[in-house]
Amino acid sequence: MANITFRCTMQEGQVDEETRAVLADGLRRIAAELLGASADDVPVSFSDIPAGFGFRGGAPSTTSLVRGAIVGGVDQELREQVMRAIIDMWTEISGCTVDELIVSAADA
Amino acid sequence: MPFYRCAVPKESVPYDQRAAVAKAFTDVHCGSTGAPRSFVHVVFDESDDRWDTPYFVDGANRAGRPEALKAQLLSDLIDAFRDVTGVSADQVSGRITEGPASWTMEGGMVLPEPGEETAEWYEHDERIGQGQAAAGG
């Protein structure tokens, strides 16, 4: 069983509270299904980048970041499975495009 | 990636300067590394985190570049920050930490190692840039 924590960072005003709860449930489900984590024990935090404080390519950003840290680490095949599952879930629920999302799954 | 977080005192850097720093950082990073422009992220943080100096450039890049290039990159970023904001040299410092490219997906693709970017990667960058423009970004 792998332990994973998620830190999600979004541009202010892009994702409402109700949607965040659904996204957190989605992250916990992915952690349980692919990493064997207990869904009730997957910390998920959200923070906002205030409007006018986030830039991409020198222009205001619409990009969200989902950063996972996997205690003990995983092999690259499983890592990519996790990241792709997160992308699919996040874009479907939030309505953002795949180009507006960065996902990492780091060994910790 | 790259992701540059600029820790700054509250209300010390107005929007026009933040935008100018973000553009300057993008120019510096892409000029130094050849990375696509749309992959350069710059965020300003007014939280109370304590650093060695009141202004701090905290960079996170893909691992694998030569030490000399990284040192020059950080120096150029700090110079760019100072040029835009007028902050004195003793008030700003920074660091660049690194992580494996393969740990991150951006735009649905696993990041390539530095120097292994393909033509497809740059086409991808162009697509993201167009999307940003359409979104008003």
What does the pLDDT look like over A15-49, one tens digit per residue? 999 999 999 999 999 999 999 999 899 999 999 99
Q: How many domains does chain A have?
A: 1
CB contact under 8 A, A61 and B137: yes
What is the SS3 assignment for chain B? CCEEEEECCCCCCCHHHHHHHHHHHHHHHHHHHCCCHHHCEEEEECCCCCCCCCEEEEEEEECCCCHHHHHHHHHHHHHHHHHHHCCCHHHEEEEEEEECHHHEEECCEECCCCCCCCHHHHHHHHHHHHHHHHCCC
The range of the structural domain enclosing residue A96 comes to: 3-65+72-107
ipTM of this complex prediction, to 2 decimal places: 0.94
Q: Residue B81 half-sphere exposure, CB side, CA atoms within 13 Å?
A: 30
Query: B55 φ, ψ to 5°?
Result: -115, 135
CB contact under 8 A, B104 and A54: no
Residues of B with CB below 8 A from A77's CB? Answer: none
The single residue listed with the structure tokens 């696993």 is B110
CB contact under 8 A, A104 and B15: no
Mutate to test the interface with A, among B103, B121, B125, B128 (most CBs of A within 10 A): B103
Q: Domain extents for chain B?
A: 3-134
B21: Cβ contacts below 8 Å, ≥ 6 apart: B6, B13, B42, B44, B80, B81, B84, B85
CA A44 distance to own-chain centroid? 9
**CATH code at position A31:** 3.30.429.10
Which helix (DSSP H) or strand (DSSP E) does residue A49 occupy?
strand A44-49
Which pLDDT score, from 0 to 100, does residue B120 have? 80
CB contact under 8 A, A58 and B22: yes
Fold designation for B3-134: Macrophage Migration Inhibitory Factor (3.30.429)
Instruction: Give which of B51, B128, B39 is closest to A55, Cα–Cα.
Output: B39
CB contact under 8 A, A105 and B103: yes
Contact B44, B6 (CB under 8 A): yes
CB contact under 8 A, B107 and A60: no
- Flag residues of chain B having pLDDT under 70: 130-137
What does the pLDDT look like over A74-99, one tens digit per residue? 999 999 999 999 999 999 999 999 99
Selecting from B25, B46, B104 the residue whose C-beta is nearest the C-beta of A104 gives: B104
> Which residues on neighbouring strands pair with residue B94, listed in sequence order?
B57
Give the residue on A whose Cα is nearest the Cα of B128: A99
CA distance B123 to chain A (A): 13
Determine the Cα–Cα distance for residues A87 and A82; give it in Å rounded to an integer: 9
Which pLDDT score, from 0 to 100, does residue B125 have? 72
Determine the Cα–Cα distance for residues A8 and A6; give it in Å rounded to an integer: 6
Determine the Cα–Cα distance for residues A64 and A103; give it in Å rounded to an integer: 9
Query: B95 φ, ψ to 5°?
Result: -155, 160
